[in-house]
Amino acid sequence: MADNILPEEILKLSRQLVMGEIILFNVVYPVIFDFQSKFNPVYRSYLKQLKFDLKYPELEDIPFLPITFFKNFRITSCDWQEQTVFRSSSTTGKGRSSHYIRDLQIYKTVSLKIFEKYFGPISHLRIMALLPGYLEREDSSLVYMVNYLMGCTAVDQRYFFLDRYHDLMEVVQGNLDEHIILFGVPYAFIRCFRELGYQFWPNVTMIETGGMKGKEAEMTKAELHLFLEESFRPKSIYSEYGMTELLSQCYSKGEGKFEVSDTMYMIVKELNDPFSIQKRGKPGVLNVFDMANVHTCSFIETEDMAILHENGEFEILGRVDNREIRGCNLLAG
């Protein structure tokens, strides 16, 4: 479907996202649901199999598409030529998710706006990354985002270090008067410590993301953050929550509790009944509404166990086992 025949409300929403305008989710979710339930063939078929035909549902009543569908189907609302395809890593041996991107500018604008909300004007920062396992892949959404953020700073150089830990240390120590943002996967931070030993990095904000990927023994968020604090003594430590199938991110500063970004809305549903809302403070399966996914699917049932707290923050507890089974079998029949 070409731009000139996309619904005007969807074109308007796309422009608002690109411009970084404030959009109220309770105003926009009915528009997105109406669009995607009609023009996303996979989501439409899923709703049909569930016999869900409410035209004006509450957000909590809408069935969210299991994230595993991104491994088996092309998830797009309308037919268009993608600008790129982001693909997940495959640490579980269950295949890789593919997220077809119609408009990269939406991803850029949304990611930058969310980032600056937490870390201030990006032009004042020096951004660096320890992202082995991601950097080797050209289709990583995380590498794309971090590379874009680097390009938004006043620093000309792109700092992707892989395993060059001593080079990283030299840059940190040579720019003590600058605020450095260091993105990294937890296992890379652990290996960096093994190589360098104890450090004092008072100008560095560390952002851990991506998990251990089977490279090191698992840690809880609290254990990991304590390790980072004792090993590097940084300015601060954050966690980033994002995934290939979403174009928005969330950040957490300590205690493992994430704030919900302006382009997202979180719902936790019962583990054994994916259509029932879990009580606040109780564990369940995290469902994410991401308005930045306007051209794919904004209603995503993740494979993450989570708690949604009374103040609206959420906490990730771990992965849900065997989420592959439910959902895809509905479309196979």
The 10s digit of each residue's pLDDT in 167-220 is 999 999 999 999 999 999 999 999 999 999 999 999 999 999 987 666 666 778
- Same domain, yes or no: 77 and 110: no
| Position with higher pLDDT, 25 vs 62 | 62
- Same domain, yes or no: 241 and 306: no
Query: C-alpha angle with apex 31: 25 to 36, nearest 5 degrees?
Result: 110
Last residue of a domain, one of 214, 236, 252: 252
| Position with higher pLDDT, 215 vs 108 | 108
Residue 333 reports pLDDT greater than 50: no
pLDDT, mean of residues 39-57: 94
- Give the domain range for residue 113: 106-252
- Same domain, yes or no: 308 and 183: no
Instruction: pLDDT band for 92, please (50, 70, 90 cuts).
Output: low
pLDDT at res. 89? 82
pLDDT at res. 214? 64
- Same domain, yes or no: 77 and 111: no
Instruction: pLDDT band for 308, please (50, 70, 90 cuts).
Output: very high
Average pLDDT, the chain: 91
301 lies in a domain?
yes
- Same domain, yes or no: 300 and 210: no
pLDDT at res. 324? 45
- Same domain, yes or no: 152 and 239: yes
- Same domain, yes or no: 233 and 152: yes
pLDDT, mean of residues 296-320: 94
276 lies in a domain?
yes
- Same domain, yes or no: 116 and 238: yes
Last residue of a domain, one of 252, 275, 310: 252
- For the chain, what percent of residues have pLDDT higher than 70? 92
CATH of the domain at 320: 2.30.38.10
- Same domain, yes or no: 271 and 209: no
Residue 1 reports pLDDT greater than 90: no
- Same domain, yes or no: 326 and 271: yes
Using one digit for the tens of pLDDT, what is the confidence trace for 49-86?
Answer: 999 988 889 999 999 999 999 999 999 999 999 999 99
Residue 129 reports pLDDT greater than 80: yes
93 lies in a domain?
no
Last residue of a domain, one of 252, 284, 313: 252
Q: How many domains does the chain have?
A: 2
Least confident of 78-82, 300-304, 308-312, 329-333: 329-333
293 lies in a domain?
yes
- Same domain, yes or no: 278 and 218: no
- Same domain, yes or no: 116 and 221: yes
45 lies in a domain?
yes
CATH of the domain at 131: 3.40.50.12780
pLDDT at res. 215? 61
87 lies in a domain?
no
